[in-house]
A and B are shown apart, each in its own frame.
Chain A
Amino acid sequence: MFLGNEDILDILYSAEEKALSLGASYAEARFHLLERQGVIARNDAIIGTTLASSRGIAIRVVFKGALGFSSTYSLSKEDVLKAVERAVSQAREASVHMKNQIIFSNEKLGRAKVSVIEKKKIDDLSTEEMINLLMDSWDKIKSADIHSKIPVYMQNLSWSKEYKVIVNSDGGFVESYVPRVFYFFNLVEYNDGNSINKWYEYAASGGSELAEEFVAKGRQYEDVYVLDKILRKAKPSPKGRMDVVLGDEIVGLLAHESSGHPSEADRILGREAAQAGKSFIKPTSIGTRIGSEIVSVVDDPTIPGSNGFFLYDDEAVPARKKYLYKNGVINEYLHNRYTGYLFGKGSNGSARAMDAFSEPIIRMSNTYIEPRDHSLDELIKDIDYGIYMKSYMEWNIDDERWGNRYVGLEAYLIENGEIKDLVKNPVLEATTGEIYSSIDAVGKNLVFHAGTCGKGEPSQGVPVWFGGPPIRIRKVRIL
């Protein structure tokens, strides 16, 4: 749409020039456009049809070691240059109070154009088609042969298109286009005075072909039966220390929460201390053992079709696959050019901004536990007494990413190597060290799940995937 738009490029370069002329040692200008279209339905009713577009220019400068950011709606050169003046002036005020100056690492920056090519154009997914998909889904859900009632089946289907042009005074120039499809459902069932609910999110980069995959062929058509069974048949969960197999849905979340987040170098250095908190990982933790040798955790933005896809980050640094934990050892942090300089390692391309109103900060992309060799049956068969937690609703973790809690939704008792009865809401509470050290087998089937990861001030939600195969952990605490 705008790719190659000379007027925009002229404004971005003028902004960069202006900042440098005002004394900034670094200047960056980003045009960022996000378009979204979506439909929200509850059962057979349409409760919202929406179209949204956000657009603007974000400026970032370093002035005497202080960082300034400014964002404006206007694309007039005059207004953009005012935004530059504002960023520089505020950084100048802050520079007096800096004890440690902000310096960026030297990098070979990208000069590239990156476009995700849709199989079917995202625009081809019309509102009528979206509505039809959602209504067909409700018809299928409501006709499920179950005992429970379904008072609520809420669905939200949308697509988005993200365009960016980034220029910076160190020679970086990146234009990109990433289309995505997002689908969310919340399924509630009632039976005999009890209720249960499950929500789940699908999202990926690609074209409108994804909508049918998510809405027409999604897991909700299995979940509708599973929830009914849990309501009617689940028994109280056993408590105490026991062996647990975690399904890929929980393993993915585990990788995100207790490997990805604590490996963010800005968090390790305290930059997010008042918001998302700090990290149990310290600046000197590289090489420290965190888990058993069979566990490796990866963050990789370059996976084609992924929700967290990018090839250059928002500082124009080339993106790459990173091993956060390798064979059970803390191996690499997520860096931008600021932390890359401080650690002397350089950036590994992890800076992302949500939109034109957001500064680029260190973010995950697609984070997963690397698959190995076990089938699910093999993971289960070596357990005398334990639990298989396949899915979850509730989870949380402390702000150093050490104390985890995952509450199973679809969960089964394991006895003598076999899956037995459904059990109700087993609660796993354990530290990150305990969980990773207790993993004695890793499955072979890697499955990704989608999410929107929150961080920053103002809070920025960016699209990510998290995933893994099922894993087995020995003797952890079930409450």
Chain B
Amino acid sequence: MKSSYFEDMLDKISNKLESRVNAYALLLTLIDETMIKYANSQPSVTQSWNMYELGLYLIKDKKAFVAGLRNPNEEDLDVFIENSLKKLEKIRETELLPEFPSTKTHDALPSLDKKVIDAQSNLGKLMELVSSRTRNETEIAGMISLGKREIMLRTSTGFTGKHANTFFNGYFRIFRGERSGQWAFSSTFYDEGLVEKTLDNAEFYASLKLPYLKPEEGEYTAILSPMVAGNLFSLLAYMSSAFAIQNGLSFLKPSDLEKEITTNELSLYDDPRNIELPFNTPFDAEGVSTYNKPIIEKGVLKNILHNTATARLFGARSTGNAGWIEPTPWNLEIKEGDASLEEMIKDTKKGVLLNNNWYTRFQNYTTGEFSTVARDAIILIENGEFKGLLRKARISSSYPQLLRNIRTIGKERYKIKWWEVENPFILPYVVIDNVRVTIPDFPS
């Protein structure tokens, strides 16, 4: 169905709601996506989705109700709206009350690439590219996902928004015997070079001819690849949302604002206006214009992420990060430093370089204590040189501890998104001192 069908649908719903509530927002998301998943060096499944999702945010007498529908038909929709309006009458007042802006329109953020859409119906070229990399001793697993996302927003204050962007994301894990390496990419635009570079980086880490060693566990300098830093710093971005702070899901406090929470090496940005990455948008889910902003700038916490409802509670202004109920980051960015990877390795006396991680879990959200499991290449560094590989290791630390010890930020940046880095993130390698590394003392 064409987008005019959905615009008519939003008009009809708006008319229906106009006299029944004090305020409302309607958010419609259309997704058309194709994915090739790889395992054992062949496509394990090709998948495609054609779906839409309608969100209703209804406000009346200080009561707010959020409803979400995936793929309703028109008949369902009428029943659903009536049902939602009835429920709205019966619930209690909320402390998270939004205030939709009075702006009616928004600027355009062109981020559609026809090549992505064309490639969806001609996957052969991408499949050829991956197949051309298969060799006898190499096992490739991973995925490539591409498609188009379109959002339409209406609010009771007259805002009408429409934005569309394409996405081209993926990751590969390459196995060579018991060794493996993994890398990822994310972009708004079609770029076969990203697929090749991702395969190259994964293969580099899978191909290291180093012996397996089992050093003592303890404190190490950790060189985090963009895959690992992407996981840890996207969690930090989520913990900088007012919702997380207020609900015991963050070690940050409102009083940390404008205080130094890390070394001045680190600048972490929320970048909804970066059209290179696919979580770009000119407006948020409440119709507030988005803007790029530092979460942390040169070590100082500059922004807690807000929607209008959390901003009201905190006595702050919306940062254009709605999310109804819960503000969320968009694209993320760590500003580049000036060190090359070679320099980082050379400057490390006793360290580990971590290619990838997963399973980050918290012991205590309010203190930021956590651990995460390293996977793929875990490289032991001694006196500036690669010495060997570790079979297994964990980082066991806390966010305050990690942040106090950030030493160096790399200069070359990569655009990453995968299972453990949910938001598209452009970032370099990051060096952190005094990171506690635990190593299992049993053979695998």
Contacts and interface: CB of A to CB of B under 8 A. Distances in A.
A87 B364 CA distance: 45
Contact of A53 (B69, B94, B361, B373): B69
Nearest to A50: B66
Interface in A86-141: 86-87, 89-91, 93-94, 96-100, 126-128, 131
B253 to A, nearest CB: 10
Interface string B382-399: 000000000010101000
Chain B interface main SS type = strand
A273 B178 CA distance: 13
Contacts of A66: 43, 46
Nearest to A278: B175
Contacts of A384: none
A28 B369 CA distance: 46
Interface stretch (B268-276, B405-413, B436-444): B436-444
Contacts of B110: none
A280 interface: yes
Interface in A160-209: 186, 188, 195-197
Interface stretch (B16-24, B32-40, B335-343, B346-354): B32-40
A47 to B, nearest CB: 5
Interface residues of B, number: 87
A395 B359 CA distance: 8
A50 B73 CA distance: 20
Interface in A384-433: 393-400, 402-403, 405, 407, 409, 425, 427, 429-431, 433
Contacts of B80: 51, 53
B71 to A, nearest CB: 3
Given A53-B70, A127-B87, A274-B173, A67 B95 contact: no
A394 B359 contact: no
A393 B362 contact: yes
Contacts, number: 264
Contacts of B371: 394, 396, 405, 407
Given A93-B127, A394-B371, A274 B172 contact: yes
Identify the interface centre among B43, B96, B367, B373: most chain A CB within 10 Å of its CB.
B43
Identify the interface centre among B64, B248, B363: most chain A CB within 10 Å of its CB.
B248
Contact of A51 (B67, B96, B360, B361): B67
Interface residues of A, number: 89
Contacts of B69: 52-54
Given A86-B48, A97-B42, A98-B43, A275 B419 contact: yes
A348 interface: no
A181 to B, nearest CB: 18
A40 B325 contact: yes
A131 B141 contact: no
Nearest to A90: B46
Interface stretch (B49-57, B185-193, B257-265, B285-293): B49-57
A256 interface: no
A148 interface: no
Contacts of A128: 90-91
A48 B91 CA distance: 10
B94 to A, nearest CB: 5
B104 interface: no
A70 B223 CA distance: 41
Interface string A42-82: 10011111111111100000000011111111110001000
A286 interface: no
A274 B45 contact: no
Given A275-B419, A396-B359, A403-B440, A50 B95 contact: no
Given A99-B42, A394-B363, A54 B70 contact: yes
Contacts of A74: 1, 50, 71
A96 B36 CA distance: 14
B373 A396 contact: yes
B46 A49 contact: no
A297 interface: no
Contacts of B137: none
B139 interface: yes
Nearest to B87: A127
Contacts of B52: 73
Interface string A275-304: 101001000000000000000000000000
B35 A93 contact: no
B143 A50 contact: no
A447 interface: no
B248 A188 contact: yes
B358 A359 contact: no
Contacts of A405: 371, 373, 394, 438
Given A54-B70, A98-B42, A131 B92 contact: yes
Nearest to A454: B419
Contacts of B1: 74
Given A273-B139, A393-B364, 6 more contacts: A73-B52, A83-B48, A151-B248, A269-B39, A398-B392, A399-B375
26 contacts: A39-B91, A50-B67, A54-B71, A67-B46, A69-B47, A70-B47, A74-B1, A74-B50, A93-B46, A127-B90, A128-B90, A151-B248, A152-B246, A188-B366, A195-B366, A270-B39, A273-B139, A274-B143, A356-B70, A396-B360, A396-B361, A399-B359, A402-B392, A402-B444, A457-B143, A479-B438
The 10 closest A-B pairs by CB, nearest first: A73-B71, A54-B70, A152-B248, A188-B248, A90-B46, A396-B359, A274-B141, A394-B363, A273-B141, A274-B173
Interface of A: 39-40, 42, 45-56, 66-75, 79, 83, 86-87, 89-91, 93-94, 96-100, 126-128, 131, 151-152, 154, 186, 188, 195-197, 269-275, 277, 280, 355-357, 359, 393-400, 402-403, 405, 407, 409, 425, 427, 429-431, 433-434, 457-459, 477, 479
